Amino acid sequence: MRSPICGYTRQENTPDDHPEGIVRIRRLLRCLVLIVCLVCLPVTGASADQGDSRILDVRPLGGRQFEVVVYSAAMNRPITLWVSHPDGSAPALYLLNAVDGGEDGGPWTTRTDVVNFFADKPVNVIVPMGGRASFYTDWLRDDPVLGRNRWATFLSRELPPLLDARFQMTGRNAVAGLSMSATSALDLAIGAPGLYRAVGAYSGCARTTDPLARALVYTQLATFGADAGNMWGDPTNPAWAEHDPTLHADRLRGVALYISAGNGAPGPHETLTDPGIDGNPGRLLDRVMVGGAMETVVAACTRPLLDQLAALGIPAAVNLRPAGTHAWSYWQDDVHQSWPMFAAALGV
């Protein structure tokens, strides 16, 4: 039988197979091996040494676009990235996908114009594929449906040095997210001080300890069959407060911030001709009703964060739209409008 610790293989022998003294010695050796293995286990609980993380493949897609596959030791699986890489050395902007991880409704690269928008920008743009319903955080426990999620470790510790070396990046980083990943972007910056010079949070719900916001988190994860209890524990677990950017807004001091939200009312993109609606009245109704309700909650979550930043004297570029639902067209606008902030923070 194979022990789960250090891959130690144990063969059970009876006293008749070997003299009693040899059996006793082997038992002592087994105990010694187990003790050494336990002492050597990383205190973080990671499944593998992060030094084992590596780039598995780089495939040109044409122009400055690449598909990059990186093995994450923390999650023990390969992660695919879309990378837009300019000539020479440049900083990095990480764009995190929505709650589906870019796997169902499509990622940034197909739902917006980021491919063309960044085609002439002196910045590396990285879009990780996957991470559905993960909040791009390190989960307390493996989930039966989602498996092992240690996205914060991957994004903040494993990935940057690999990409910096392979694509001659400058070590200056920024991160942006939308909806679910807007909260993640803020949380990543708080959890890795000094790593990200700027954060974009588009239509996110940062106040994770608020009962309404927590209910939204549970609902989002349940849609994909995942259990939020495996992420941050039950509602009384301190992990919920640990990952509430509103409670830790002071740690965002010195980080350039762009924060946006609509108010849920139909806005300029609620039209039959808008991308994603494509002339379908049913899709338009769904965006107005469901997307409108979601953005109403987002607006309610966003104001406490803005109030806390103001109370701390931490500046932020704020875009509270007078109308607008929870939709990609608004997040495309946010990328365009927040780019000058990112460019200044990244020094380009």
Q: Collapsing DSSP states into helix, strand and coil, what is residue 273?
A: coil
- Tell me how crowded residue 332 is: count the other CB atoms within 10 A of its CB: 20
CA–CA dist 262, 277 (Å, integer): 18
Kindly state whether residues 79 and 30 are assigned to the same domain: no
**What's 199's domain CATH number?**
3.40.50.1820
Specify the higher pLDDT residue, 262 or 210: 262
| pLDDT tens column, 299-338 | 999 999 999 999 999 999 999 999 999 999 999 999 999 9
Above 60 in pLDDT, residue 203? Answer: yes
Clarify whether residues 268 and 136 are in a common domain: yes
Residue 83 CA to residue 64 CA, distance in Å, equals 8
The reply to whether 218 and 245 lie within a common domain is: yes
| pLDDT over threshold 90, residue 196 | yes
Distance (Å, whole) CA 185 – CA 295: 18
**Same domain for 121 and 8:** no
Whether 100 and 176 share a structural domain: yes
pTM: 0.85
Tens digits of residue pLDDT in 215-235:
889 999 999 999 999 999 999
The percent of residues in the chain predicted with pLDDT above 90, rounded, is 81
- CA distance linking residue 91 with residue 159, whole number of Å: 14
pLDDT in tens, 109-153: 999 999 999 999 999 999 999 999 999 999 999 999 999 999 999
Higher pLDDT, 98 or 28: 98
Q: Are 221 and 231 in contact (CB under 8 A)?
A: yes
Together in a domain, 85 and 172: yes
Average pLDDT over residues 240-265: 98
pLDDT at 106: 78
- Are residues 165 and 225 part of one domain? yes
Same domain for 327 and 304: yes
Structural domain for 235, as ranges: 50-346
Q: Token pair for residue 157?
A: 């510790």
- Look-up of token digits 């608004």: 330
Strand, helix or coil for residue 292 = helix
Q: Are residues 134 and 195 in the same domain?
A: yes
Nearest to 205 by CA among 314, 137, 335, 300: 300
Strands in 256-261's sheet, in edge-to-edge order, are 54-62, 65-72, 77-84, 124-128, 90-96, 169-178, 196-202, 256-261, 317-320
The answer to whether residues 314 and 206 belong to one domain is yes
Q: Is 270 helix (H, G, I), strand (E, B) or coil?
A: coil
Same domain, 168 and 22: no
State the total domains in the chain: 2
| CA–CA gap between residue 284 and residue 256 (Å, rounded) | 35
The strand pair at 169-178 and 90-96 is best described as parallel
54 shares a domain with 36: no
